[in-house]
Structure 1
Amino acid sequence: MPSDQQQLFKETHQKYQQTFSTKNETTTTELKKEIKQMQNEKEQLENRLNKMQLKIENDKNVTNNKEKFQQILELTSNLRVSQEEESNLLRNAYDQRKKHRMSSKTMHELQSDKSALEEIFNEISEHVIPNETNAISEDSAQHLIEMWKEKNMQNEKELEHVHNEYKEHHKMLQELLNITHSDTKTDNELSSLRNEINELSHEIGDLENQRDSLLQALDSKLAIYKKRAFDMAKNKTVLLNKIKQIQDEIKDVRTEIMFRCVVFKDEMDKMHINGRRPMSEKEMKEYLVSLQEKKHKYEQCQNNLQRQSHEIGILERTEEILKSRHENLQQYIEYKEKEESLAEQQKQLVSISAMKSEIDQSKGMTLNSLSEVAKRVNAELQLRKNKLVPLIKQFRIKREEFEELQKEYKDKKQIYDTIKMTYEKELQQLQTSIDETGHDISMLNQDINQTQKQLKDKKELLANISSDEKCKEYKTIYENDTAKLLQKSKRLRQEQKIVIEKQGKDEIQKEYFNRAKQLMQIKLEILEAKTQTGTTTNENGADCMIIAGQE
């Protein structure tokens, strides 16, 4: 029966691990869907830009103002960013809903498993399973259910947060669309705008040439950085898989330790690994929390890098679109370069490259630290597993021995209780008989004293009567009476001797029984002390019973 209970608990734990792992995994189909969605969004953005261009060309009421053109460009970029954020929010909301459904299903399954486990525990607790292991297993099942409840609460909070962000971004989009569709433009403004677009296209061409000349020097460095980033991404995926495996192993070890922490607490304090005590459960939790914080920081840095690269890609796309459709932007870019020196741009590029190198170094350091931490955790887990195997075997052997000793102790205790009851009854009977004989002896002594007094009185009377010759008949009467009294006194003395002899034997027997009672009480205390320490043997119990029978 305990093996069935352990198998059921392991099955529920495996289900929990599978559900937890499937939530975090991303399949290739999902990635393909995301790529298609990005392509569709790209096409939609291109169509919108074409529509805006047609509106600018065909509308008669177009204003001739540089600031409004720049506002339109900013609005398009903001619109693109907001659309991407909206799509990300929708995708996150869908994932959160999916996770919530999966967690609710697993909650129902765990509750059903918990009810089944409780029924098994109630059936087995009276006969087989000890109270301590039953309490531990129930606590572990309750702990898993509480963990799932906390995760469901977190998922609900995240869903609320995602809905709020989605509403805010939707409001921003509506405001941007209202701004884009609000203004009307005249023919003069439209012609001036076209001239400005041509100038800007010329300026953009010049800027692109300068950018190409600057980037040619940086192409080699960028290729190296791209290779490093690719290698780092591969290493990151490998390390994340290892960390997941380590987390699964840690969960298995924690469940095993929960079953055996009560029994092995004293032995774990005595154990030493490399001159120090092994980590307790609290220390292990703190260590895992620190690992999760480091992982969270690493993910934040990675998200920032992805966001920056995404923004750079958006800017490059906008540049390419404007370059392909506006030839006069080159002149506008030359005009802007005259106003703003290229030295500042070069400084910015140098600072960006330095920041990128620092970020790459920090990435390498974090990955190395994570790999070292993973190796340490694996080594410590292996050591603990190797240490726990012989202890578990010893624990099982000790447990079997303890159960056998407990059975023997109960059997001998029953025999001892029955013998003790019989001896106590006999002692009570002997005590009552001794009290009765003592009372009889005291009564006989009183009778003897009275008869002796009567004899003395009658002897005096006989002496007085014998001195008188006239009273011979009285003398014969008194002689007969004295003869009767002497016979009676002899008989009473014989009875007194018998009673005294019997009293001596009864007192000796009473002393024997008192000594036997003291011995039995002392041996009972010794047996109780030994059973408390767990060092009783068969021979001691047998000796106790033999001594009690002899005495």
Structure 2
Amino acid sequence: MSDQLKFIVEKLNKEPFKKNYSLITFDSLEPMQLLQVLNDILAEIDPKHSVDIREEMPDQTAKRMLNILGILKYKPPGNTGDMSVFRQGLVIGSKPVIHPLLYWLLQRTSELKKRAYLSRFLVRLEIPEEFLQEDVIETYNQYEELMENFKVIHKECEQLKSSGFSTAEIRRDISAMEEEKDQLIKRVERLKKRVETVQNHQRMLEIARQLRVEKEREESLAQQKQEQKNQLFHAEQRLQRAQNQLKNIRHTAADAKPEGLLKRLEEEMKFNSYMVSEKLPKELDSKRQTLHFLQKVVSEPAMNHDDLTEVEDKIQEVNMQINQLIENRMRNDPMDDKLSLFRQQAAIIARKKETKADELQEAKEEIANLEREISQKSSQAQDIDGSEILRGDEFKHYVSKLRFKTTQYKKKRQELSELTVEYGILQRTEEILKQQHDNTQQQLQIIEQKKGILGYSDTQEELERVSALKSEVDEMKGKTLDDMSEMVKKLNSKIADKKSALAPVIKELRPLRQRCQELTQEHDENKTQYDGCAAGLESNRSKLEQDVRALREECSQAESQYHYINLMKTSVETQIQRAADEMKAYVSPDSQERRKAIREQYSRHILEQENLGKTLKEKQKLVKESHAPNMKQVKMWKDIEKLMDCKKLCFQKQQNQTSIGQVIQGGGEDLLIL
């Protein structure tokens, strides 16, 4: 709960609320302030709820909040799962009801904003059937079509928003595509000019077009073939699953006997008949009773404090009557009721029967779930490796094959361990040989040093290695020189061919360069014109968006004013109805009805208060009359208290003097003894 409160306070202290609460201040909020905080959050989700709850009736506030919470699909937690308890807690601003609601709203504010926005357009209007005539049906059908179109357009808009494209990127893509288009047009014109010089170019173009069509057809046929292969593969998988199911059913039916099947069917029939005739009707009746009770609670108006006290008094009276009946029943002799024992046994058996039926139903559901999981796992296994689930003899064969493979694995593992041991021995021999080689090298160096030719063996090895490298480098140089000469010849021939081939193209390219410069200038001029036109259109679009935004705000204000007027109308109607009921109760000849009138209640209260005032005035008069002697008596008691204090002090002084004299006398005696 503390984590929940911390989260709520953090969210309320941030944008857009900025409440500046602490945990203590938030926890000490009054019910009306807590309801105002809830209303502020609902106003942030849907702006039409931005009202001051102090200017609104409690039943209207509860109705409005319950309506928006129903649209937002809020489900109360377990401790406030009863809707009557939740409704009463919402009306009085109870913390156990409001705190989980605030936590739920602040967790998913953006999602709920979207839901509230969509509810303005997607919540259907409930029209009675007697009003659904021809014109109304046509308009209602148009309304439903517009709602479906709105759904489609909203989905497309969300997809475009989530796609991540921006207007600048789209414009860049459009400009790049236009440039590519211009280049392609130029390339096509160039190719057309080249092709026009060729004989029978029309026929060749037609053949090329037919070739392209046939290639596209070939690709589509290949795609269809692949799709049909996939369909065939899925159909084979379904057939294989059906065959496996049929095999399982036959396997289960092979061991079954007619008597067992009949017995099982009789048990299922008894269970189903019990469920249909006894258990389900009871549950249905209980659900209907709870529904009727909830509808009755919802249809009743908001309860005041007086209504709550009346209901509590009635509950106490009914409880007292129940206790009296229980006492009367306990006073009677239980031996008189001969059927009580059998009734208790029947009730126990019925409860056991219900529990066993529930357990059987749960077991059946669990078996069905396990069968579904088994089928899903088998299908997943078949999809992964394409193999079936092994059963019976196939599983035994698989186990024997697995045992053979395990024996082979153990043999190979033993061979591997032997090889690793041999590898370790070889490594050790290599190290020993290296040590021996190092020792011989050291001995050779000592001998060379004694002879005066230190480093002779190293220089000889180095000279042999350098001579070998030199011979290899000489061979590589000869090969590379030959290759380079051949490559130079080939490059010179290729350059000459390219020059001869590019000479006419260069001649054609010179006028095209001039044309390109002219076109670039023309493109720059057109681009400046296009940018200016685009800027003007952008400004017009922004103005139109501002106008649309202003009109939407006016529309929302008009809607809020309309709803406010409707609410005021309903409040005035309820006040008029209350006044009429009050007048009816006041005028009615029945004394009980007249007592329920507010005027009678207030007149009784006024009489009670007047009587109370009279008694208080009499008490005041008595107090005034007895004030002087009472004050005199208080003064006398204070004087007595002072006298007693004085006597007490004198007595204490006398006691102190006597104790000092005794001490002095005792000291003198001690001195005499010494």
Higher relative contact order (CA 8 A, sep 6+): 1
TM-score range, shorter chain: under 0.3
